[in-house]
Amino acid sequence: MEWNGLTESYLDYSATTPVCAAAAEACLDAMNRDFGNPSSLYRLGMEAENIVSAARRTLAKALGCEEQSLFFTGSATESNNIAIFGSLAANPRKGKRIITTMVEHAAVLGPFAELQKRGYETVFLAPDETGSYRAEQFFDAVDDRTALISVMLVNNEVGTRYPVEEIIRAVRRKNPDTLIHIDAVQGAFKLPFSIRTAAPDLLSVSGHKLYAPKGVGALYIRKGVKVSPLLFGGGQEKGIRPGTESVPLIAAFAAAVNWYLPQQKELLSRFEALQGELFRRLEEIPEVSVNSPAGGVPYITNFSVKGIRSEIMLHFLESRGVFVSSGSACAKGAKSHVLDALGLSDARADTALRVSFGAYTEREDIARLADGLREGLSSLIRTN
Ligand code: PLP
């Protein structure tokens, strides 16, 4: 498989991915050759507009939705913000209660914290004893004043795949007027998943978790669901996200999807084999305990290394040419709210590392990681 030449072992694909060759090429073409403004009326503009339309078709087909329901944004953070603030602003009569989970990404928890300040009754559901969520938890929490629920498809820190299809059905049974948003950033395109089957009202995805450059996302809005824009301007993306479309990034996102999807099945089984190898290696190290609940996605694994703080081990591994993350990249060293919600002790959470696989991960990367952990354990000073 083509690779960008990095000789180190990159094991942090959930933070971001390298850009695949197909996406880089599509991006370059859209910057050089097809550089027109999609709103311009002459040929160059129409060509740029065609690129955006084709990209929308590609993403819509991959996600299982109508292309008219898909809007390009600048990131999944922006998609989440438009979904949450925009749907509440457009539907003030639905009520003032909004529900999410304690384990969401900051791009959902942030908007919820802000809405709490603005007077919304916010509910943060705790995971059950298995570390996942049951549909009944949402059924019980939703009432006739619940305007919105937001739940992620796959947890970015521990890899749990939540039963969003069942959750959506349960919420619809309890209150068909409640809007349902799915943050699908860590699962969309990588797992078999279809908007048509799951039937959410709103769904967010991000380009840079899928081998496209940073700075492009998309938001699905189910036909008929009202969403107010957060920005006002030239009316692009039907006014949902005005601002000249980033044709190069959008073209790259679609190229990455076209590159990844045919490999999805094969990659998933590769990740399963790699995770099996990782578990075997970790089991041989008595100081290591796995934090990811059983049955998660095979490409995200979280574990703790007894007595060695995450950042210390992270930098030690870096010195051995292995890149991993301490919990979530966005948390930048703060104690993980996800591990906390899963009931892990401070000592476990403070020593947690996240390893995430991608298209270029090889068995040797795992061997290097395991060797690095052993070396770290024998040379670093332990805290307990
Ligand atoms: N949601 C989840 C679950 C994520 O993992 C991330 C990124 O880590 C985001 C949202 C934010 O995506 P973006 O970087 O495109 O804003």
Is 356 near ligand 1, meaning CB less than 6 Å away?
no
Collapse the DSSP code of 354 into the 3-class scheme (helix H, G, I; strand E, B; otherwise coil) and give the result.
strand
Residue 206 CB–ligand 1 contact under 6 Å: yes
Task: Compute the average pLDDT of residues 226-231.
Answer: 98
Please pick, among 20, 27, 65, 330, the residue that the annotation labels catalytic: 330
Label residue 318 by pLDDT band (50, 70, 90). Answer: very high
Residue 124, classed as helix, strand or coil, is strand
In terms of Cα–Cα distance, which of 158, 160, 187, 186 is closest to 303?
158
Check if 27 is active-site. Answer: no
Poorest-pLDDT segment among 226-235, 315-324, 328-337: 328-337
175 contacts 194 by C-beta, under 8 angstroms: no
Query: Ligand 1: which atom is nearest the Cα of residue 16?
Result: 8
pLDDT of residue 331: 54
Q: Distance (Å, rounded) from C-alpha 68 to C-alpha 57?
A: 9
The model's pLDDT over 322-372, given as tens digits with 9 standing for 90+, comes to 999 996 555 555 789 999 999 999 999 999 999 999 999 999 999 999 999
Taking the CA of residue 206 as reference, the ligand 1 atom at the shortest distance is 15
Paired sense of beta strands 97-101 and 121-125, if any? parallel
The pLDDT assigned to 382 comes to 76
DSSP state of 134: -
* Residues 77-87, mean pLDDT to the nearest whole number: 98
Beta bridge partners of 180: 149
Residue closest via CA to ligand 1's atom 16 equals 77
CA–centroid distance, 260 to ligand 1, in Å, is: 19
Alpha-helix runs per DSSP H in the chain:
21-32, 43-63, 76-81, 87-90, 106-117, 135-141, 164-174, 195-198, 247-260, 264-283, 310-319, 337-341, 346-350, 363-379
Residue 2 has pLDDT above 90, yes or no: no
Residue 78 scores a pLDDT above 90: yes
Q: Is 77 in the pocket of ligand 1 (CB under 6 A)?
A: yes
- Which ligand 1 atom sits closest to the C-alpha of 80? 10
CA pair distance 119, 45, nearest whole angstrom: 45
Read off the pLDDT of each residue in 175-185 and give the average, rounded to a whole number.
Answer: 98
Residue % of the chain over a pLDDT of 70: 97
CA distance 316 to 330: 20
75 lines ligand 1 (CB under 6 A): yes
How far apart (Å, rounded) are the C-alpha atoms in residues 159 and 292?
Answer: 7
Concatenate the DSSP letters of all residues of 21-80 into one string: HHHHHHHHHHHHTS-S-TT-SSHHHHHHHHHHHHHHHHHHHHHTS-GGGEEEES-HHHHH
Q: Is the CB of 150 under 6 A from ligand 1?
A: no
Q: Which amino acid is at 254?
A: A
CA-CA distance, 157 to 282, in Å (whole number)? 18
pTM given for the model: 0.97
DSSP-derived pairing of the beta strands 322-323 and 9-10: parallel
- Of the candidates 247, 215, 224, 245, which has an alpha carbon nearest to the alpha carbon of residue 233? 245
Structure-derived torsion over alpha carbons of residues 336, 341, 346, 351, reported in degrees to the nearest 10: -50
Specify the pLDDT at position 1: 45
- Reduced to 3 states, what is the DSSP secondary structure of residue 266? helix
Name the CA radius of gyration of the chain, rounded.
21
Sign of the CA dihedral running 208, 209, 211, 212? negative
Task: Please give the DSSP secondary-structure letter assigned to residue 112.
Answer: H
Query: Residue for token digits 């955006």?
Result: 52
Report the separation in Å between the CA atom of 204 and the middle of ligand 1, taken as the mean of its atom positions. Answer: 9
